[in-house]
Amino acid sequence: MPPFNDLKDKVHKRLRMRVIIYFVISIVVLGVSIFHILKDGANAFLALVGLLVGIVIGTVVARMYKISWDKNAAQVISKFDAVGVIILVLYVVFEVFRSKIVGYFVHGPSVLAVSFAILAGIMYGRVFGIRGKVRQVFEEEGVA
């Protein structure tokens, strides 16, 4: 599922690269989570729940960027807005304390697997959220 492959000339290169990087990171981090499930005997169900929670968080975090249509460039662009800064600060705090937060709910060998699953979910959620917003801009502007 390469992001925006069908309309890549209509999405600013920096935004396209950001989504590709999030997607690649999510695959690598999910692999690390699966590794810990297999190696440490972590609870796969808890990791799946962590992945789903991460997707929700990532979709909300995708709100950091205001995505709009630039008529001069005929491309979708992204900018930070005031709400995005607040979300970014909350996201950074969550990332810094992610293992401690997960540790309150999950114990033993599952902490690492769930923590990485949440991170993978956040990256997937960001990809899904940004893609959805770009598609919405395309619909509003009549670009297809």
Q: What percent of the chain lies above the pLDDT cut of 70?
A: 88
User: Hey, what are 19's tokens?
Assistant: 């989504």
pLDDT at res. 22: 85
User: Hey, what are 42's tokens?
Assistant: 């972590």
Q: Do 90 and 27 contact (CB within 8 A), yes or no? A: no
Of 107 and 88, more confident: 107
Tell me the mean pLDDT in the region 127-141. 86
Please measure the distance between the N-terminal and C-terminal CA atoms of the chain and give it in whole angstroms. Answer: 18
Residue with tokens 């599952």: 110
CA 112 to chain centre: 19
Residue 31: band (very low, low, confident or very high) from pLDDT cuts 50, 70, 90: very high
Tell me the mean pLDDT in the region 3-22. 75
Tell me the mean pLDDT in the region 113-140. 89
Tell me the mean pLDDT in the region 74-88. 70
Q: Does position 1 have pLDDT exceeding 60, yes or no? A: no
Closest to 11 in 3D by CA, of 84, 90, 65: 65
Question: Biggest alpha carbon distance in the chain?
Answer: 55
Q: Do 70 and 77 contact (CB within 8 A), yes or no? A: yes
- What average pLDDT does the structure give for the chain? 83
The predicted-structure confidence for 33-45, as pLDDT tens digits, reads as follows 999 999 999 999 9
